Structure 1
Amino acid sequence: MSANHHYGVQKALIVIACVMLGACSSVTSGMSSSAVNPVNWITPYKVDVIQGNFVSKEQVEQLQAGMTRDQVKALMGTPLMASLFHADRWDYVFTLKRQGVEPQSFKYTVYFKADQLERFEGDAMPSEAEFISKLTNQRKLGAVPPLEATEEQLNKAAAKAPATAPSPSLAAASEPAAPTAYPPLESPKQ
């Protein structure tokens, strides 16, 4: 083979490689870059992050003007933010971050005047049932089997039981009776 012919084959291969690379870049420009990158195909597990005090709709409905600070704390819990500069204001902040779901944030503020609840305001809080439904796993594992045995299953189990098993009255008679008084756990002080 002549040197010119060999040189021509190299040129043709370089041109074909450049055309192929150009075609690849035009195909991938229509796709998102994360779909092309194999590293992004596998997503690591991200833990659900729940921060702050969950305040339910039911708790908010129990708030009444005139309650003391202790009553509010017993009802709603310790506030997440209580500022020295705003001693008459408590902020209850709650955030929920889950994988694949937009982060949710709730804020509720209570205002005091002379240690009495004056007013309260904030976001519309979810009920306890709504909050629990947000925490449940999206995976459905199938139907839960019945947890009670049918009469037929009980009869089958009784038929399979060994016939040599002692009856409960005989087993109780052979064992010593449980003591009615127990010794003290600690020795008496001397």
Structure 2
Amino acid sequence: MKSFVSFAACVLLAGCSSWVGHSDRFAYVVPLYRVEIVQGNVVTKEQASLVKPGMSRDQVRAVLGSPLLTDPFHADRWDYVFTIRRQGADSQMRKLVARFEGDTLKSFDVPADLPTENEFVASINTFRPKGDAPKLALTEAEKAALPKPVRPAPAAQEATGPTRSFPPLERE
């Protein structure tokens, strides 16, 4: 009996590992929650345009941040790798390589499809409003068609109650 239970548990666990590749097809039927995974540094065209050959390591680090990979065997190469998996958006992966000679930047390899900041935000934006976007301002004709605000009538009599006299706050 114990061997049968062990065998059944192994078969079930093996089935779970083969399910990983099928989750995309199954997600259309039953929506599954996926954890958002972001790794590395987001580098945009604006940031990459600031990096020029001849810059020091500290200057490159100030513009791009610390590299994701610094290999002790290749001390003159920094790899900036960025990956993101977000539910409802396409997965993205970019790799930039900075090569140094001593402390000076020799070359900076940038992929051709590097997005601008606005393009990157648009690519990961999963908020899609239903229908048309709401109108945020009224036209002059719509403002004129609005009913005029009603002003409250003045109070019939002044409020009555005990009156007190307080000493002045400042001393003369």
TM-score tier, shorter chain, comes to 0.5 to 0.7
In 2, distance between residues paired with 1:73 and 1:50?
A: 20
> Which letter maps to 1:86?
H
| Residue in structure 2 matching 1:139, options 105, 108, 128 | 128
Are the structure 2 counterparts of residues 140 and 65 from structure 1 closer, same or farther at C-alpha, using a change threshold of 3 Å? same
Q: Deviations over 1:49-79 (max 9, x none)?
A: 2221011112222221110111111111111
> Which letter maps to 1:145?
K
| Residue in structure 1 matching 2:59, options 50, 71, 87 | 71
SS in 2 for 1:126: coil
> Which letter maps to 1:73?
R
User: What residue in structure 2 maps to residue 45 of structure 1?
Assistant: 33
User: What residue in structure 1 maps to residue 82 of structure 2?
Assistant: 94
Matched, 1:162 2:140: no
Are the structure 2 counterparts of residues 108 and 51 from structure 1 closer, same or farther at C-alpha, using a change threshold of 3 Å? same
Q: Deviations over 1:109-147 (max 9, x none)?
A: 101112010111142211112101102225233322224
What is the TM-score when the length of structure 1 is the normalising length? 0.56
Matches within 5 A, 1:1-190: 41-99=29-87, 101-124=89-112, 125-137=114-126, 139-141=128-130, 142-147=132-137, 151-152=143-144, 156=148, 159-164=149-154
Are the structure 2 counterparts of residues 114 and 140 from structure 1 closer, same or farther at C-alpha, using a change threshold of 3 Å? same
In 2, distance between residues paired with 1:117 and 1:136?
A: 34
Unaligned runs of 5+ in 2: 1-21, 156-172
> Which letter maps to 1:152?
A
Range that drifts further, 55-64 or 99-108: 99-108
What is the TM-score when the length of structure 2 is the normalising length? 0.61
Give how far 1:163 is off.
Answer: 3.8
What is the alpha-carbon root mean square deviation over aligned residues?
3.2
The sequence identity of aligned pairs, in percent, is 41
In 2, distance between residues paired with 1:149 and 1:84?
A: 64
In 2, distance between residues paired with 1:57 and 1:84?
A: 28
Structure with higher helix content: 1
User: What residue in structure 2 maps to residue 5 of structure 1?
Assistant: none
Are the structure 2 counterparts of residues 148 and 68 from structure 1 closer, same or farther at C-alpha, using a change threshold of 3 Å? farther
SS in 2 for 1:51: strand
